[in-house]
């Protein structure tokens, strides 16, 4: 008997048919991948299974019986849990309080906190139940979501891009967890754009394109190239990463020491590095080791940095506002798409105004047609799938919104671009497009600082690598001298402050 069966599922939205006669069959204990490019209909299908969206047509059978899943609460009662790509957590509540909301009230809050600690320890997910969610990084929030799902002992666990902000070590631990769950009979629906993961973990794979099922395969018998062809109709273009000829120092950070702003933050301790014109400096690190605090100081969100600790073209910008830094050539892409990178309820055209003020007259009037034209230009240049410049940000898939936000800043011709998690949750084609555009920007003479928890990405595009751990910064290492093993050790804080000492220690 099948654990889950979808037959003829369709869902029409005003601008797009998200699912078109979709069929899906999942067996007990099966790890079943759902693969497709951004906007292919994967998330809509998962939300239908979880009761968050109602289908227009089709039937759902659960353990052989027809069901109508009217809400996530009904789904959880059936034994279905889901971890969304965009998290569903209340910022002002603690991790434990967020988890407690989704459980029946047979357990007290302290009991739930203890269970979170136990489950997190068992699976190596490192979650502090007493921390408020607003103080957590994206990676830490994802761990809370995964632990919350595991606490319900689900028969079917839906994971939407679960490893997008996890370190390689954490991914390995998660896979052990998922294989344990599978061996115990739990079915897993696994959405990921990481083809290596799907081939290593999953038993079966259903491929979607344009809302329709275009293939079902055994991923262990496929290559990355064949899966890419099924998903996007072609193999992603190979990046042309030539050795860079770095120019003058654009941004220099020296002696940046900052006390954390809340009790759960991370102190920055004597941070120092520089970024030169025509190079990409990659910043690796486990989520929650000071990346948020560093990005706030560099972008101008936090202006407490000591005088002279951050300079742009030799000019002290430590106390400059984000707007002033943009005028001076520094553009920034935050890790959080919705709420930071874009306002969910505003159109794409209106969202250009967050950072692209060239469409605003000195008198304060907005040149509406220029705003729309700019949005259309970004949509076309970066191949964003959206219902035009009037589409609201929250209507886009995660990957398409990411392409728009990154494109908005690249298109501004920055002198220094700081990007946090540039390809989080985007498909292989979109990731290749974004990385290619970052390399083009570098080759045009821009200085780039890229913070990512995707080590493969950093090795693919960076000219130099540095690691942040426990609020401290490692020496920089040229990409030719970097190894996954070395960077992995440094991510645990095992580096020396003096580069000569580091070289001596590695000899």
Residue 335 lies inside a defined structural domain of this protein? no
68 and 151 housed in the same domain: yes
Element (H, E) at 31: strand 31-35
**Are 188 and 181 a contacting pair, CB within 8 Å?**
yes
- The Cβ of residue 479 has, within 10 Å, a number of other Cβ atoms equal to 18
φ, ψ for residue 146 (rounded to 5)? -65, -45
Residue 337 lies inside a defined structural domain of this protein? no
DSSP β-ladder status, 156-160 and 310-312: unpaired
Q: At 93, which CATH number?
A: 3.40.50.300
CA–CA separation, 456 vs 483, rounded Å? 11
User: 434: burial class by Cβ within 10 Å (0-12, 13-18, 19+)?
Assistant: buried
Q: The tokens 């969610």 sit on which residue?
A: 133
Closest CA to 438 of 455, 456, 475, 463: 463
Query: Of 200, 232, 264, which closes a domain?
Result: 232
Read off the DSSP letter of residue 347.
B
Residue 182 to residues 27, 187, 394, Cα–Cα distance (Å): 10, 6, 33
Burial code (b: 16+ CB inside 10 Å, e: under 16) for 277-311 equals bbbbbbbbbbbbbbbbbbbbbbbbebeebeeebbb
pLDDT at 498: 45
CA–CA separation, 506 vs 112, rounded Å? 45
160 and 253 housed in the same domain: no
Read off the DSSP letter of residue 426.
-
**Are 276 and 326 a contacting pair, CB within 8 Å?**
no
**Are 290 and 268 a contacting pair, CB within 8 Å?**
yes
**Are 22 and 39 a contacting pair, CB within 8 Å?**
no
DSSP β-ladder status, 464-469 and 477-478: antiparallel
**Are 295 and 322 a contacting pair, CB within 8 Å?**
no
pLDDT at 485: 84
108 and 200 housed in the same domain: yes
Q: Along the chain (507 residues), what's the average pLDDT of each consecutive run of 10 residues?
A: 96 88 97 90 92 96 96 92 81 92 84 92 82 82 86 91 69 84 93 88 94 93 88 74 87 97 89 97 90 96 96 97 96 90 96 94 92 97 91 87 94 97 81 91 96 89 95 95 88 66 40
Residue 336 lies inside a defined structural domain of this protein? no
Q: Domains in the chain: how many in total?
A: 3
pLDDT at 176: 86
- What does the DSSP assignment read for 350-397? HHHTTT-GGGB-TTS-B-HHHHHHHHHHHHHHTT--SSSTTSBGGGS-
Helix axes 398-410, 428-443, angle to 10 degrees: 10
**Neighbouring residues of 7: CB distance < 8 A, sequence distance ≥ 6:** 23, 58, 59, 61
* pLDDT, tens digit (0-9, with 9 covering 90-100), for 463-495: 999 999 999 999 999 999 999 888 988 988 878
**Are 438 and 411 a contacting pair, CB within 8 Å?**
no
- Going edge to edge, which strands form the sheet with 212-217? 80-83, 156-160, 187-191, 31-35, 204-209, 212-217
361 and 488 housed in the same domain: no
429 and 497 housed in the same domain: yes
Give residue 149's domain range: 4-232
**Both tokens of residue 306?**
């000591």
166 and 197 housed in the same domain: yes
Residue 212 lies inside a defined structural domain of this protein? yes
**Are 172 and 201 a contacting pair, CB within 8 Å?**
no
Query: Of 214, 232, 250, which closes a domain?
Result: 232
61 and 137 housed in the same domain: yes
209 and 282 housed in the same domain: no
Residue 334 lies inside a defined structural domain of this protein? no
149 and 296 housed in the same domain: no
pTM recorded for the entire structure: 0.72
189 and 161 housed in the same domain: yes
403 and 426 housed in the same domain: no
**Both tokens of residue 495?**
């580096």
* pLDDT, tens digit (0-9, with 9 covering 90-100), for 55-75: 999 999 999 999 999 999 899
304 and 365 housed in the same domain: no
Helices and strands (H and E) in the chain: how many: 17, 21
CA–CA separation, 147 vs 142, rounded Å? 9
């Amino acid at each position: 008997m099948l654990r889950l069966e979808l037959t003829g599922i369709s869902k029409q939205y005003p601008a797009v048919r998200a699912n078109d006669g979709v069929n899906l069959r999942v067996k007990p204990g099966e790890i079943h991948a759902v693969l497709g490019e951004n906007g292919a209909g994967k998330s809509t299908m998962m939300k239908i299974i979880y009761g968050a969206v109602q289908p227009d047509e089709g039937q759902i059978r659960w353990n052989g019986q027809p069901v109508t899943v009217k809400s996530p609460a009904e789904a959880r009662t059936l034994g279905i849990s889901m971890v969304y790509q965009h998290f569903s957590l209340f910022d002002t509540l603690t991790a434990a309080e967020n988890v407690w909301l989704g459980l029946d009230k047979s357990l007290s809050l302290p009991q739930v906190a203890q269970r979170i600690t136990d489950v997190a320890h068992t699976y190596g997910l490192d979650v502090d139940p007493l921390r408020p969610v607003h103080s957590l990084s994206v990676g830490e929030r994802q761990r809370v979501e995964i632990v919350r799902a595991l606490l319900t002992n689900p028969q079917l666990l839906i994971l939407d891009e679960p490893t997008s902000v996890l370190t390689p070590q954490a991914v390995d631990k998660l896979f052990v967890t998922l294989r344990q769950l599978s061996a115990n009979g739990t079915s897993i629906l696994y959405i990921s754009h990481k083809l290596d993961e799907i081939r290593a973990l999953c038993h079966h794979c259903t491929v979607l394109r344009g809302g329709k099922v275009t293939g079902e395969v055994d991923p262990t018998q496929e290559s990355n190239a064949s899966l890419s062809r099924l998903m996007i109709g072609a193999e992603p273009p190979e990046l042309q990463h030539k050795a860079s000829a770095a120019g003058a120092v654009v941004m220099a950070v020296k002696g940046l020491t900052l006390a954390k702003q809340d009790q759960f933050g991370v102190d920055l301790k004597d941070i120092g590095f520089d970024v030169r014109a025509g190079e990409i400096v990659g910043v690796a690190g486990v989520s929650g080791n000071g990346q948020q605090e560093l990005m706030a100081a560099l972008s101008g969100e936090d202006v407490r940095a000591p005088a002279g600790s951050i300079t742009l073209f030799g000019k002290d910008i430590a106390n400059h506002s984000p707007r002033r830094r943009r005028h001076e050539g520094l553009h920034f892409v935050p890790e959080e798409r919705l709420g930071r990178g874009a306002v969910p309820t505003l159109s794409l055209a209106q969202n250009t105004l967050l950072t692209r003020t060239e469409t605003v007259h000195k008198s304060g009037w907005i040149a509406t047609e220029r705003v729309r034209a700019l949005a259309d230009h970004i949509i076309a240049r970066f191949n964003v799938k959206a219902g035009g410049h009037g589409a609201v940000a929250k209507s886009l898939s995660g990957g398409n919104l990411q392409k728009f936000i990154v494109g908005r800043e690249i298109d501004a011709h920055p002198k220094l671009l700081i990007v946090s998690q540039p390809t989080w949750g985007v498909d292989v084609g979109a990731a290749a497009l974004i990385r290619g555009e970052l390399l083009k920007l570098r080759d045009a003479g821009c200085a780039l600082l890229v913070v990512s928890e995707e080590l493969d990405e950093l090795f693919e595009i960076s000219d130099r690598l540095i690691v942040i751990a426990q609020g401290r910064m490692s020496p920089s290492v040229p990409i030719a001298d970097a190894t996954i093993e070395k960077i992995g050790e440094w991510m645990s804080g095992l580096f020396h402050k003096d580069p000569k000492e580091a070289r001596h220690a590695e000899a």
